[in-house]
């Protein structure tokens, strides 16, 4: 043990001087004839020690010593809380007996470890209570959010309990890099492969146009159904319009079937696809999918003007042609009515091109028409800066060519991209960019930021702006055709690229909402999703307020059932969780009053049957086994939790860690020092009394 003080040590001599003076004055001059000489010496020594000790405490000395703390090993537990576990054949066991077994598993481990239990589905949440109501399964938050928070803890392992299925995020096998402890996996659910048919996926355009044929693409999966026959049926507004017999060849069978729907009437049309059950099929919920398609009377027109032919134009046309009428021009043609197009795409314009004056004229004729700029090596950047005020791009003295990837800007809110699509977009190949200087206007919304040679920057790669009554979008490089090709390589479809392009163009076409009451609601929910709605209200000074009560009513268009709700006021916004609602097409009407004005916002959304969690009814143990093998853990099933607990308890990893640190304890806070002072005072008083003193 060492003593330490923040003040100079020579101050202790003052404490000694004070103790000596006090003891000498009191006992040498005042008590030398009252007490025996030996007693005077003892009493003076006691008084000296008391005064010295008390005054020494005024310089706040510390006792410095080594402090040892033993940290129990930390064991992380992540339990799948998704609804897919209740779809499988052994769902009654998961609902009942399993809950008690899992609780006992945690209790047993808690004797040796600091157990940190979590549940996961769409996100990771602390706790061990299981509800199996998550409608998505994503392993990514476990590896990207949960594990990094325990980086400095004595973590000996992660126990991952799941059915091995996921429908969002990245394959967990690609997420184990950098993990320094083993993962022990437990397969849940039924691993027996039963006879099963499923409508695994349906792809369609949510908006189509009257008098236009549109395609519905259906992916069908089958297991343990070799040589059996089923029929895939397509229904429009409850009436079967087509059926396709399918002969299943193989125990693991998949096929994609295309149906063409002809000349559907305008409005919201209900489409249902179903597979006829086969003998021995235990799970039927995944045999049916229902959804709605909005049929509009006329298509909107996208006009593309290009400085030169480029594969980007073909990629954009392929993405947009199912929803919009598209036209590409490389040189002036027949005169175009300035009101016949709804969005103007300028590919590498302005540039030295026959279309330069033509494009400038069209833009001046329609100052409110949305424009999408795609910048490239032919773009005249000085002229580009003079054509618009939403972004300034530096023109380089020497020609350059940079390969630039995109990073999603988390603050972007003009339209939504699901997490899986956002991750895939960040994996897309780089665009070819011709400048190192981009300065967007303050009012711009950046969707993608530039990532150059692995370094993320604040410069935009794809952004949107709204200035002077014109909506403008910018793609700051060429090469988006590679995005479409990579999308197909990654997913077997062009869905992610198509959604990105159509949502971008759709935002440009959407008339800016000048209604002071703005409601944000998704256009589609699954049957088990909670209907969550947010709203904003602005006064005449465009200040956000939420003092008035805001009511909303959902109306089922089929049976005209009404569901009225009142929003909660949170901060400056309105929020509502309306819970789950029956399948169908709904119209919503939100109403409030601000001052003497009645305000209203309305729209439509749909509740679809099924869920992503019902598409597969058999657990996938090979995915979990792979995680354990890669990290040095072990793999078992849900019926051997007790044995796994015993294995973990005797594991070489299950050792506590002793942390040593220097502790600084003020002596003035010490009970022993206080006790010694009190004891000396009592001793002095007692000796004085015994010897006749006062």
179 plus 115 within the same structural domain: yes
What does the chain come to in residues? 694
| Cα 304 to Cα 166, 238, 503, 510, 528, distances in angstroms | 40, 40, 17, 18, 42
Kindly state whether residues 81 and 167 are assigned to the same domain: yes
Query: Is the domain of 374 the same as that of 305?
Result: yes
Structure tokens at 670: 């010490």
Give the ranges where 306-370 is alpha helix by DSSP (H).
311-320, 356-365
CA distance 356 to 352: 7
Distance CA 377, CA 312 (A): 13
Q: Residue 64's pLDDT is what?
A: 74
Q: Are 182 and 632 in contact (CB under 8 A)?
A: yes
Largest CA distance in the chain: 131
Q: Verify that 146 and 163 share a domain, yes or no.
A: yes
Same domain, 476 and 599: no
In sequence order, what are the beta bridge partners of 68? Answer: 660
Question: What angle (nearest 5°) sits at the alpha carbon of residue 535, between those of residues 600 and 547?
Answer: 80
Phi and psi torsions of 242, nearest 5°: -165, 150
User: Would you list the DSSP string of 433-460?
Assistant: E--S-EEE-TT-EEEEEEEETTEEEEEE
- What is the distance of C-alpha 161 from the center of its chain? 21
Q: Kindly report the CATH number assigned to the domain that includes residue 413.
A: 3.40.50.880
Token look-up 């002095």 returns 684
Tokens of 320: 């947009």
List, in order, residues 6 or more apart from 471 with CB less than 8 Å away: 370, 371, 464, 465, 507, 508, 512
The total number of structural domains in the chain stands at 5
What distances in angstroms separate CA 212 from CA 297, 301, 553, one per listed residue? 10, 15, 33
Tokens found for residue 90: 């052994």
Tell whether 470 and 528 lie within a shared domain.
no
* Helix (H) or strand (E) segment spanning residue 284: none
The CATH number covering residue 151 comes to 3.40.50.410
Check residue 552 and give its pLDDT.
Answer: 96
Q: Let me know whether 460 and 442 are in one domain.
A: yes
Q: Encoding tokens for residue 439?
A: 């300065």
With residue 172 as reference, give the H or E element that holds it.
none
Last residue of a domain, one of 244, 279, 296: 296
Interior angle at CA 209, CA 208 and CA 212, nearest 5: 100
C-alpha span between 228 and 662 (Å, rounded): 74
Q: Tell me, yes or no, whether 249 and 228 share the same domain.
A: yes
SS (H, E, C) 378-418: CCCHHHHHHHCCCEEECCCCCCCCEEEEEEECCCCCCCCCC
* Residue 543 pLDDT: 83
Domain end, chosen from 509, 530, 555, is at 509
The answer to whether 220 touches 246, Cβ cutoff 8 Å, is yes
| CA–CA dist 86, 283 (Å, integer) | 11
Predicted confidence at residue 694, as pLDDT, reads 60
> Using a CB cutoff of 8 Å and minimum separation of 24, what contacts does 538-541 make?
539/594, 540/516
Q: What is the CATH number of the domain that holds 534?
A: 2.60.40.10
C-alpha neighbours within 13 Å on the C-beta side of residue 194: 21
Burial of 425: CB neighbours in 10 Å, binned 0-12, 13-18, 19+ = buried
- Quick one: 357 and 224 in the same domain? no
Nearby residues of 341 by Cβ (< 8 Å), 6 or more positions away: 301, 302, 303, 327, 369
Give the per-residue pLDDT at 63. 77
CA distance 355 to 341: 17
Whether residues 523 and 583 share a domain: the answer is yes
Angstrom distance (rounded) from CA 315 to CA 507: 19
Burial 533-572 (b: 16+ CB within 10 A, else e): bebbbbeeeeeeebeeebebebbbbeeeeebebebeeeee
Q: Which two tokens stand for residue 130?
A: 């299981």
223 neighbors 618 (Cβ within 8 angstroms): yes
Smallest Cα–Cα separation from 404: which of 429, 441, 437? 429
User: Across the 694 residues of the chain, what is the mean pLDDT of every consecutive 10-residue run?
Assistant: 70 79 74 67 82 80 73 91 80 86 93 93 89 85 90 89 86 84 91 82 76 82 89 91 92 88 81 90 82 80 93 94 84 71 94 90 88 96 93 90 93 79 91 93 90 92 89 96 93 88 87 78 80 90 87 93 94 91 91 91 84 72 91 92 91 71 74 83 79 68
14 backbone dihedrals φ, ψ, rounded to 5°: -65, -40
Whether 356 and 492 map to the same domain: the answer is yes
Q: Are residues 628 and 685 in the same domain?
A: no
Is 282:306 a contact under the CB 8 Å cutoff?
A: no
Domain assignment of residue 280, given as a range: 196-296
Tens of pLDDT, residue by residue over 126-169, are 998 998 888 788 898 999 889 998 988 889 999 999 998 887 77
Residue 80, number of CB atoms within 10 A of its CB: 24
Burial class (CB in 10 A: 0-12, 13-18, 19+), 476: buried
């Amino acid at each position: 043990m060492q003593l330490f003080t923040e003040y100079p040590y020579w101050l202790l001599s003052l404490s000694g001087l004070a103790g000596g003076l006090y003891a000498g004055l009191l006992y040498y001059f005042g008590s030398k004839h009252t007490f025996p000489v030996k007693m005077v010496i003892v009493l003076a020594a006691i008084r000296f020690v008391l005064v010295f000790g008390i005054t020494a405490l005024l310089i706040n000395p510390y006792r410095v010593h080594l402090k040892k703390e033993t940290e129990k090993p930390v064991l992380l537990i992540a339990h799948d809380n998704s609804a897919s576990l209740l779809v499988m054949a052994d769902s009654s066991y998961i609902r009942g007996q399993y809950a008690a077994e899992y609780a006992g598993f945690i209790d047993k481990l808690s004797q040796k470890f600091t157990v940190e239990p979590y549940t996961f589905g769409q996100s990771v949440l602390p706790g061990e209570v299981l509800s199996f109501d998550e409608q998505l399964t994503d392993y990514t938050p476990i590896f990207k959010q949960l594990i990094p928070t325990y980086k400095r803890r004595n973590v000996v392992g992660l126990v991952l309990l799941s059915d091995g299925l996921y429908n969002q995020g990245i394959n967990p096998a690609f997420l184990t890099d950098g993990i320094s402890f083993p993962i022990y996996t437990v397969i849940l659910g039924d691993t027996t492969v039963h006879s099963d048919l499923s409508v695994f996926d349906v792809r369609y355009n949510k908006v189509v146009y009257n008098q236009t044929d549109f395609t519905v693409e259906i992916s069908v999966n089958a297991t343990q159904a070799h040589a059996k026959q089923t029929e895939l049926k397509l229904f429009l507004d409850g009436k079967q319009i087509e059926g396709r017999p399918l002969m299943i060849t193989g125990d693991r069978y998949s096929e994609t079937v295309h149906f063409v729907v002809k000349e559907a009437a305008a409005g919201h049309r209900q489409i249902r696809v179903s597979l006829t059950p086969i003998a021995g099929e235990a799970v039927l919920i995944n045999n049916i999918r229902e959804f709605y398609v909005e049929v509009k009377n006329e298509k909107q027109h996208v006009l593309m003007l290009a400085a030169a032919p480029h594969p980007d134009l073909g990629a954009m046309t392929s993405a947009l042609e199912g929803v919009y009428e598209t036209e590409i021009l490389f040189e002036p043609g027949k005169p175009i009515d300035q009101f016949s197009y709804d969005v103007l795409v300028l590919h590498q314009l302005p540039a030295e091109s026959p279309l330069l004056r033509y494009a400038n004229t069209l833009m001046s004729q329609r100052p409110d028409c949305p424009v999408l700029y795609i910048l490239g090596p032919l773009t005249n950047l000085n002229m580009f800066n003079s054509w618009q005020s939403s972004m300034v791009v530096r023109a380089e003295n020497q020609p350059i060519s940079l390969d630039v990837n995109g990073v999603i800007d988390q603050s972007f809110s003009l339209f939504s991209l699901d997490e899986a699509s956002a991750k895939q977009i960040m994996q897309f190949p780089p665009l070819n960019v011709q400048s190192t200087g981009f300065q967007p206007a303050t009012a711009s919304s950046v969707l993608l930021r530039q990532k150059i040679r692995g370094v993320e920057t604040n410069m935009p790669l794809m952004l949107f702006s709204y200035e002077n009554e014109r909506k403008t979008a910018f793609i700051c490089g060429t090469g988006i055709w590679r995005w479409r090709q990579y999308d197909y390589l990654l997913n077997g479809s062009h869905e992610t690229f198509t959604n990105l392009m159509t949502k971008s163009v759709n935002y440009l076409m959407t008339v800016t909402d000048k209604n002071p009451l703005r409601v944000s609601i998704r256009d589609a929910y699954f049957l088990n999703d909670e209907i969550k709605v947010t709203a904003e209200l602005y006064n005449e000074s465009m200040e956000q307020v939420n003092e008035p009560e805001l009511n909303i009513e959902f109306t089922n268009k089929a049976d005209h059932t009404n569901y009225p709700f009142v929003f909660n006021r949170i901060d400056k916004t309105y929020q509502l969780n309306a819970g789950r609602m029956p399948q169908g097409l709904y119209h919503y009407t939100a109403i409030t009053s601000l001052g003497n004005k009645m305000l209203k916002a309305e729209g439509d959304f749909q509740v679809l049957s099924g869920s992503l969690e019902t598409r597969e009814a058999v657990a996938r143990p090979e995915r979990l086994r792979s995680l354990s093998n890669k990290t040095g853990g072990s793999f078992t099933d849900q019926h051997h939790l007790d044995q796994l607990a015993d294995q973990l308890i005797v594991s070489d990893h299950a050792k506590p860690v002793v942390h040593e640190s220097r502790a600084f304890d003020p002596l003035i806070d010490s009970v022993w020092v206080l006790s010694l002072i009190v004891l000396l005072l009592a001793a002095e008083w007692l000796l004085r009394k015994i010897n006749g003193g006062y």
